[in-house]
């Protein structure tokens, strides 16, 4: 039996999961790390803390299973994608906290790029929209705001990367400065049609090519964990952005297959095959993965606040003690009682793309209870996802037959039933919901021959539960119309 170690570095926690060659979880260890909010709309992570947490859980899961590094066929890395940092090339020390994908500090820079007429250029080359979400403007901010950073970058003293590149660098003892095509496609700096950093975009954002990692396949042996590491000698053989990893782990290998991940945010990806489909509905065209020299693409819609809305009910309002309590609270009522909850805490993602929107709970009456607010929070997550799928339907001219789901909040049956209702298609939860990590394990395993091909992987996917729509199409349309009215009221709120 072959074993794979997936390092799943997420927005709020680092996990290490060991999978066997049947795609089943053998062991898992998870550790949360600190979130830093230095100013409203700013979100940062301590990259050194991320690395330590990721290394610790990897060592712990092997110890828990009584495994040695030699027992592991390969390591696959999957990561929160647009979160970006700069570090000293020699010492490996970060020069500033990592700027997280949720961070909005570069909104004014993005406004200027749009005002300068750069939107079409960037969209045509990268498949992305101009938004603070993506890494490019974060890199520019670091270079311009960390004292001496730009001079040090020009002198070749700094490395830049997203979290996958950071982990590979640390794992390899500084030998590797690499990223994969799926992560590189999220930076605003890579031409997704040519598969390389784009000189015109680098010039536009004033980012020197020398600090960027080399772009590699999502499945190949990049190197090994360094000899002084507790994981010494294990091959590093898979790298993929978390959402693309989930698409792979859900075996959405065919065009028009789609998945939605319910994590801190919600991310829906639909495979578009060898064609990068240009969206007319403000969705993203992104690299799904590059395997065996072939680049495949996906349409993506990003919801910035998904499961984090439930976290706010717990931490901000204190109406639940743990995230798992939200389902029972939401089920104390039949519906939201006319309440709409738009969780635009850090702006709106697709299809609205408004960094100045802010969260709102609308429709409160004297009869509103915490149950109604909890129910409205679940509705808000599902309705944001419905907006994404509608755009994908129109872009591809094809309807989806089912939506595969995963992520932490996918254990919530009530949420998934609401999702099936508003989408009016079946929602399917697999037996293994850790599909992000599973995708990284599959990609690493393909690189070292644990699986001969994708067909062998496809046969491992199994259904846990299927949710069929229980309301009429008219009721679903009414819910969505009310939701859109609420969304419009949140827009532009934080505009100075």
Closest CA to 6 of 455, 442, 453: 442
Report the C-alpha gap between 156 and 485 in whole angstroms: 51
Is the link from the previous residue into 351 a cis peptide, with omega within 30 of 0?
Answer: yes
Q: How many helices (H) and strands (E) does the chain have?
A: 16, 23
Report the C-alpha gap between 185 and 190 in whole angstroms: 6
Torsion sign, CA atoms 375, 400, 23, 232? negative
Task: Identify the three-state secondary structure at position 289.
Answer: strand
Reported as type and span, the H/E element at residue 7 is strand 3-9
Report the C-alpha gap between 351 and 487 in whole angstroms: 11
pLDDT tens, residue by residue, 267-304:
899 999 998 998 888 899 999 999 988 999 999 998 88
Q: Which residues contact 86 (CB under 8 A, 6 or more apart)?
A: 94, 95, 96, 139, 142, 143, 146, 149, 153, 158, 159, 160, 211
Q: Which residues pair with 427 in a beta bridge?
A: 403, 467
Q: Which residues contact 111 (CB under 8 A, 6 or more apart)?
A: none
Report the C-alpha gap between 248 and 410 in whole angstroms: 17
Token pair listed for 104? 């909005």
pTM of the model: 0.89
**Pseudo-torsion of CA 262, 263, 267, 270, nearest 10°?**
-60
Closest CA to 427 of 382, 392, 484: 382
Task: Identify the three-state secondary structure at position 293.
Answer: coil
Domains and CATH numbers, the chain: 3-243 (3.30.420.40)
Transcribe 260-286 into DSSP letters: EEESSSEEEEEEEETS-PPPSSSPEEE
Report the C-alpha gap between 30 and 404 in whole angstroms: 24
Token pair listed for 157? 């003293």
> What's the confidence (pLDDT) of residue 302?
85
Please, what is the Cα angle at 196 between 190 and 202, to 5 degrees?
50
Residues in the chain: 496
The answer to whether 100 and 39 are in contact (CB under 8 A) is: no
Q: Which residue has the tokens 């260890």?
A: 29
Q: Which residues pair with 401 in a beta bridge?
A: none
Measured in degrees and rounded to the nearest 5, phi and psi for residue 131 equal: -160, 150
> What's the confidence (pLDDT) of residue 98?
98
Closest CA to 396 of 494, 287, 298, 328: 298
Report the C-alpha gap between 44 and 26 in whole angstroms: 32
Token pair listed for 329? 């609270």
pLDDT tens, residue by residue, 196-225:
999 999 999 999 999 999 999 999 999 999
> What's the confidence (pLDDT) of residue 496?
61
Which residues of the chain fall below pLDDT 70? 496
CA distances for 235 relative to 67, 70, 75, 239, 422, angstroms: 16, 10, 6, 12, 44
Report the C-alpha gap between 145 and 142 in whole angstroms: 5
């Amino acid at each position: 039996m072959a074993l794979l170690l997936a390092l799943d570095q997420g927005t709020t926690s680092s996990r290490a999961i060991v999978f066997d060659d049947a795609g089943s979880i053998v062991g898992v260890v998870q550790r949360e790390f600190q979130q830093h909010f230095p100013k409203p709309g700013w979100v940062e992570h301590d990259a050194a803390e991320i690395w330590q947490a990721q290394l610790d859980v990897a060592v712990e899961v092997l110890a828990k299973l009584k495994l040695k590094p030699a027992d592991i066929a390969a390591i696959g890395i999957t990561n929160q994608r647009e979160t970006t940092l700069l570090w000293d090339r020699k010492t490996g020390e970060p020069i500033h906290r990592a700027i997280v994908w949720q961070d909005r500090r570069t909104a004014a820079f993005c406004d200027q790029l749009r005002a300068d007429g750069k939107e079409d250029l960037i969209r045509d080359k990268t498949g992305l929209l101009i938004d603070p979400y993506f890494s490019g403007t974060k890199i520019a901010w670091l270079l311009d705001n960390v004292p001496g950073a730009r001079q040090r970058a020009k002198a070749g003293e700094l490395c830049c990367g997203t979290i996958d590149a950071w982990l590979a660098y640390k794992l390899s003892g500084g030998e590797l400065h690499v990223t994969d095509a799926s992560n590189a496609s999220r930076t605003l700096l890579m031409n997704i049609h040519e598969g390389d950093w784009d000189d015109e975009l680098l010039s536009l954002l004033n980012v020197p090519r020398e600090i960027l990692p080399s772009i590699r396949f999502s499945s190949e042996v990049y190197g090994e964990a360094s000899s002084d590491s507790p994981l010494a000698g294990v091959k590093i053989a898979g790298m993929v952005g978390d959402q693309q990893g989930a698409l792979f782990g859900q075996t959405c290998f065919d065009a028009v297959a789609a998945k939605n991940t319910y994590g801190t945010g919600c991310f829906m990806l639909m495979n578009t095959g060898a064609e990068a489909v240009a969206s007319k509905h403000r969705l993203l065209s992104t690299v799904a993965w590059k395997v065996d020299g072939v680049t495949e693409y996906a349409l993506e819609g990003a919801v910035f606040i998904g499961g984090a809305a439930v976290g706010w009910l717990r931490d901000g309002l204190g109406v639940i003690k743990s995230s798992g309590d939200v389902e029972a609270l939401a089920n104390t009522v039949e519906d939201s009682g006319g309440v709409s909850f738009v969780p635009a805490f850090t702006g709106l993602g697709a299809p609205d793309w408004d960094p100045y929107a802010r969260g709102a709970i609308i429709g409160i009456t004297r009869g509103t209870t915490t149950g109604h607010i909890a129910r409205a929070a679940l509705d808000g997550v599902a309705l944001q996802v419905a907006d994404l799928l509608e755009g994908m339907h129109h872009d591809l001219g094809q309807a989806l037959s089912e939506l595969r789901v995963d992520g932490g909040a996918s254990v919530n049956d009530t949420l998934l039933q609401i999702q099936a209702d508003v989408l009016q298609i079946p929602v399917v939860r697999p037996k293994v919901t850790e599909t992000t990590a599973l995708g990284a394990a599959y990609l690493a395993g393909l690189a070292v021959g644990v699986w001969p091909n994708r067909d062998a992987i496809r046969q491992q996917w199994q259904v846990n539960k299927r949710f069929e729509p229980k309301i009429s199409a008219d009721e679903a349309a009414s819910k969505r119309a009310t939701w859109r009215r609420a969304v419009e009221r949140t827009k532009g709120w934080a505009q100075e």
